[in-house]
Amino acid sequence: MDGKRILLIIGGGIAAYKSLELIRTLSKRGIASRCILTRAGAEFVTPLSVSALSGEKVFGDLFDLTDEAEMGHIELSRSSDLVVVCPATADLMARAAQGLAGDLATTALLATDTPVLMVPAMNVRMWDHAATRRNVERLRADGVTVMEPDEGAMACGEFGPGRLPEIDRIAEAITTQLARSQRLSGRHAIVTAGPTREPLDPVRYLSNQSSGRQGYAIAEALAREGAQVTLVSGPVMLPAPPGVTRVDVETARDMLAGVEAALPADIFVSVAAVADWRPARSADRKLKLKDEAGETPPLNLTENPDILATLSRKRKHRPELVIGFAAETHDVEAHARAKLERKGCDWILANDVSGDVMGGGENEVLLIRGEGSDHWPRAGKAELARKLADEVSEHFARAQ
């Protein structure tokens, strides 16, 4: 199950504390949890314990603008393989059944396009109530999987159905849901991401605006399809996606070495914004404002190795599918086609970087392969990554 991730929504019931045990059990199975703790849930468990166990930031309030800037609620709801509501309280299920979206948990449930599993826990009379029966039926009709609660003595002193199922049973249900076809299982993918840094002296460097988000999203999407992924990354502010092996590098030359060390691979996706040039000389000491002759030091540049072209032209260990990106500001298709030829890669994803693509959350691309091209309209980088992973999976399925 390595590389899988769930969005766990923790509702406000006494069983909320058991969600901590669930996070641990899933993590032992290689399943990462990103959590939304509802306001009522936070009355039973603290955000600190949830984040300590999940190893990730915990999301709480729809109107937390900092979170919105980092990751919109739409993105949050879609960047998982499965959404799990545990415990699913009578109130949370009622609101979800009606399609209300008054807080982050219900908004995520309404916005998600991934399967949803609800694990109810409530008092026996609440579970048996006609309103709850109706809501469960409605949710099931909407495609939500609602587990049957366990029967037994409850925290409130009553006896009957309504108890949260045993953690192992929940983990088993989650694993089953996640075990969809792993189309890239057994394949190794190398992805480069982020900028490179080319030192001028010990404290200065040449670099660019790349945030690494598109490359990281692609690494994550390929891992979700079951590929073993090595992410060779320039300096960025992002955590490694679950189940992905990250190799940190700084310069273009280090990046090429990192990629070559990770070979052999079936897939190479070159997303990094590799600096085309580096200072011809990198000084051992900090350069002074004026050099010995009293002049501003000159900036002499030399060309960096082209990682994509090097991989495309390898005689030994050329990955079966080599994919490049083309960052263009005008005549996008013509320049991208020329780049495909020049670099010798199999597919190229062309994007117009004249706007806010570099460093932004969205992208719009043209996938060029052979004679044809497909236009992928503007969408979140994670969505485009999933689309690419889908195309790659289909390519290998066809080739078999």
> From the list 164, 262, 308, 368, which residue makes contact with ligand CTP (rule: CB under 6 A)?
308
CB 35 within 8 Å of CB 67: no
Stretch that binds ligand CTP, among 159-167, 223-231, 232-240, 305-313 (CB under 6 A): 305-313
Q: How many CB atoms lie within 10 A of CB 47?
A: 16
> From the list 205, 325, 347, 396, which residue makes contact with ligand CTP (rule: CB under 6 A)?
325
How many separate helices (H) and strands (E) can be counted in the chain? 14, 19
How many residues belong to the site for ligand CTP (CB under 6 A)? 14
Quick one: 146 or 269, whose CB is closer to ligand CTP? Answer: 269
> From the list 326, 367, 368, 384, which residue makes contact with ligand CTP (rule: CB under 6 A)?
326
- Strand order from edge to edge, sheet including 145-146: 31-37, 4-10, 82-88, 116-120, 145-146
270 lines the binding site for ligand CTP (CB under 6 A): yes
Q: CB under 8 Å to 260, separation ≥6 — which residues?
A: none
Query: What is the dihedral angle through the alpha carbons of 183, 184, 185, 186, rounded to the nearest 10 degrees?
Result: 140
> From the list 106, 123, 230, 304, which residue makes contact with ligand CTP (rule: CB under 6 A)?
304
Quick one: 200 or 274, whose CB is closer to ligand CTP? Answer: 274
Stretch that binds ligand CTP, among 96-104, 106-114, 121-129, 267-275 (CB under 6 A): 267-275
219 lines the binding site for ligand CTP (CB under 6 A): no
214 lines the binding site for ligand CTP (CB under 6 A): no
At its nearest, how many Å lie between ligand CTP and the CB of residue 389?
Answer: 17
At its nearest, how many Å lie between ligand CTP and the CB of residue 385?
Answer: 15
252 lines the binding site for ligand CTP (CB under 6 A): yes
Angstrom distance (rounded) from CA 38 to CA 56: 16
Q: CB under 8 Å to 259, separation ≥6 — which residues?
A: 190, 192, 232, 268, 307, 311
265 lines the binding site for ligand CTP (CB under 6 A): no
Residues catalogued as catalytic: 156
Applying the rule CB under 6 A, the residues between 336 and 365 that interact with ligand CTP are 339
Question: Two tokens at 308?
Answer: 């994509």
> From the list 6, 231, 327, 389, which residue makes contact with ligand CTP (rule: CB under 6 A)?
327
DSSP E strands in 121-176: the ranges are 145-146, 150-153, 159-163
Question: C-alpha distances in angstroms, 47 versus 20, 53, 110, 163, 250?
Answer: 11, 10, 23, 23, 35
Rounded to 5 degrees, φ, ψ at 267 are -130, 135
Q: Which amino acid is at 386?
A: R
At its nearest, how many Å lie between ligand CTP and the CB of residue 42?
Answer: 43
Quick one: 133 or 313, whose CB is closer to ligand CTP? Answer: 313
List contacts with ligand CTP (CB under 6 A): 252, 270, 272, 274, 276, 304, 306-308, 324-327, 339
